[in-house]
Copies of this chain bind each other. A is one copy, B any other.
């Protein structure tokens, strides 16, 4: 079905490109060519026909759709695609997709976690070392020409003794664990369900995990259940020296309460890649040396984008050849 000579578009398997008009398929030419040589990419926004009639006309043939960025998929939208079987998402977080509606229809959803996991984990670990060892703050100290003036820079804290609690032990959480073990940290986790094949201690809820940890690393999906799961109770349980690293979604944390704790000196520190309302970062954080602020770029390496391109092509080909899919998002 997929070979190098361009086939008549009508003969290639159909993939709907679902995007808000402002998002486009990345201009990476080889990825675009790869897709177009193997699939008939239907993009309503590239057609002069009105969106609704374009969609209605093609709907009987659309078994697969690819979402670009955070273009939302609601239950109502799904109803317009009665033969849809697969959604190939291009991000790790899927809070813009009505997953329960997909699963009740038997629609399979794949995401980018497998492509992104290592880079996000690298970033999470980098943020943690930075917070504990004050690397960015020390860099500011030097650039502010303070080193010759003030004798010594305040001490940081050792990583190796820290008890790290991972919230969400999926692909990203597992890569974080693997790295932190090499630093001598001990790992525990919470997850929707205990994972049988994993030997780290499991806690059924995040408050108990926090009470037994020095650091929390948030690697889980944002859902109704996990919204604001990190609140003042959890922060108090984590303790006055506790550190939170968030590479998930901003709203996993009650940001207002996080601010109060950090500004009030009731927490050890935080490394944040995500915020409740991006790109608005609470300005109270700018004056704190025990906080490291990252502009939602934990996935941003050329290597992860290329890995994602490959992952998408692999899944589309697999679907149309009835082969197993990868990076499937499940309900466990």
Contacts and interface: CB of A to CB of B under 8 A. Distances in A.
Contact of A181 (B140, B182, B279): B182
A143 B179 contact: no
A136 B130 contact: yes
A179 B295 CA distance: 26
B304 A158 contact: yes
A300 interface: yes
A160 to B, nearest CB: 5
Interface stretch (A8-16, A118-126, A203-211): A118-126
Interface in A111-158: 118-119, 122-123, 125-127, 129-130, 133, 135-136, 138-143, 147-148, 152-153, 155-158
Copies in the complex: 2
Contact of A129 (B129, B279, B293, B303): B129
Nearest to A304: B158
Contacts of A125: 129, 183
A295 B79 CA distance: 60
16 contacts: A118-B160, A118-B184, A122-B159, A123-B133, A126-B130, A129-B129, A130-B135, A130-B139, A135-B292, A138-B295, A153-B295, A156-B301, A157-B302, A158-B303, A161-B303, A179-B179
Contacts of A142: 281, 286, 293-295
A193 to B, nearest CB: 26
Size class of the contact patch on chain A = 35 or more
Contacts of A183: 118, 122, 125, 179
Given A136-B135, A138-B297, A158 B122 contact: yes
A199 interface: no
A45 B93 CA distance: 64
A302 B160 CA distance: 12
B280 A155 contact: no
Interface of A: 118-119, 122-123, 125-127, 129-130, 133, 135-136, 138-143, 147-148, 152-153, 155-161, 178-179, 181-184, 278-281, 286, 292-295, 297, 300-304
A50 B20 CA distance: 83
A186 to B, nearest CB: 14
B300 A156 contact: yes
Contacts of A303: 157-158, 160-161
A327 to B, nearest CB: 17
Nearest to A306: B158
B297 A118 contact: no
A155 B281 contact: no
A-B pairs, 6 with minimum CB distance: A126-B129, A182-B182, A158-B303, A142-B293, A147-B279, A136-B136
A233 to B, nearest CB: 28
Contacts of A156: 297, 300-301
Given A122-B160, A143-B293, A152-B297, 19 more contacts: A118-B159, A122-B133, A123-B135, A125-B183, A126-B133, A130-B136, A136-B136, A136-B140, A139-B292, A142-B286, A142-B293, A142-B295, A155-B301, A156-B301, A157-B301, A158-B301, A158-B304, A178-B182, A182-B182
B127 A135 contact: yes
